[in-house]
Amino acid sequence: MIRFEQTFMNFLLEHQERQHRTGHFLILMDAVISAARHIQYYYLTGALKGNLGLAGSVNIQGEDVMRMDQIAHEIAIHYLKSSGRVIHAVSEESEPIIPMNVEGGRYFVYFDPLDGSSNVSHGLPVGFLFGVAKRNLEGTEDLHLRSGNEFIAAGMFVIPTGTFTMGLKDAGTWRFHMDETMNYVRPTRILLPEKKKTWELSFNAANRRAYAEKVQAWIMENENRYAFRYLGALAGDFHRILANGGMFMYPAIVNHPDPKKNRPEGKLRLMYEASVVAFMCREAGGLAMNEKGVPILDIKPEKPHQRCSLYVGSKALVEDIAQAF
């Protein structure tokens, strides 16, 4: 007997119908899913086709661009544009904001098409992360960059693992798995576990002496209480935290022996990394803050590629470290 599962699109259709919503968001999400499948395919066959190496250029963040970064960006732009529903997009791979359907579009999409570049040349897990906000339907639209609190949805695909996790505003965080037909199926509601037994800490331990002293002291005091896991790709590391509880952090780098390598604003990008995981975390019962003790979802972006420090995961743990700031 074949076991048939509910697909993501069917799940979303039911959700939209229950809320008496229009079909626009479904059309947008169909584009996002198509892009994710397309990226997944290229990534899976990337080693054989020679697509897992460097592209030979440097991006706006001063990082080497991988060939797969460009492919994933191109794919995402194609589908988002063809949906006709996007006003403009912000991509990690493009310095300027990308105008799409400026007059008729309904959503702003902020995305990183292939996050976790150090894993690319090994074909190991990377993420496609996105946040969605809606245009102002009541008054005049001023096209401002939206904070996480203004998102209506945010999600991440772990590629090529085949999982998709998405938070829907006031409707929870849900996980789906890719089936043999490349459909995302089996909606499962995710709530951060309360029991500390499974909690994990995730951060780049190589940087620890460069963190602020208070952060270092907190780590010294707490690290033996939890398992430590770090993949080096936010989507993969945060996937574990959502399932097991605990905290992912990317603190500000303020004590680097080479001061030029300090990152007082942190490394991760607010709009398409920190806000995306913070949104999913809130819908799963958790919390995200920066090192100034400001909830990530409250931060109003001043520029599209703004960075921020990030502490995200189980509420009690994020609140506890926030006491140390």
- Residues at the interface with ligand FDP (CB under 6 A): 115-118, 204, 232-234, 237, 267-268, 273
CB of 109 to ligand FDP, least distance (A): 18
Helix, strand, coil percent values for the chain (each to nearest 5): 40, 25, 35
Instruction: Give whichever of 45 and 118 is closer to ligand FDP, judged by the CB atom.
Output: 118
177/267 with CB nearer ligand FDP? 267
Exposure class string for 22-48: b at 16+ Cβ within 10 A, else e: eebbbebbbbbbbbbbbbbebbeebee
Helix ranges (H only) for 45-117 are 46-49, 67-83
Measured from the CB of residue 210, what is the shortest distance to ligand FDP in angstroms? 11
CB of 304 to ligand FDP, least distance (A): 15
Distance CA 83, CA 79 (A): 6
Closer residue to ligand FDP, CB minimum distance, 78 or 263: 263
Question: What residues form DSSP beta bridges with 177?
Answer: 163, 185
Minimum CB distance to ligand FDP smaller for 72 or for 132: 72
Compare residues 268 and 280 and give the one whose CB is closer to ligand FDP.
Answer: 268
- Please report how close the Cβ of residue 301 comes to ligand FDP at its closest, in angstroms: 16
Tokens of 308: 């921020």
Minimal distance, residue 180 CB to ligand FDP, in Å: 28
- Nearer CB in complex with ligand FDP: 100/233: 233
Question: What is the C-alpha to C-alpha distance for residues 95 and 324, in angstroms, rounded to an integer?
Answer: 35
Q: How far is the CB of 234 from ligand FDP (least distance, A)?
A: 4
Give whichever of 233 and 278 is closer to ligand FDP, judged by the CB atom: 233
* Alpha-helix residue ranges (DSSP H) falling in the chain: 8-18, 24-44, 46-49, 67-83, 213-222, 234-244, 275-283, 315-324
Residue 178 C-beta: closest distance to ligand FDP, Å: 20
Distance (Å, whole) CA 10 – CA 29: 12
- Does residue 115 contact residue 235 with C-beta atoms inside 8 Å? yes
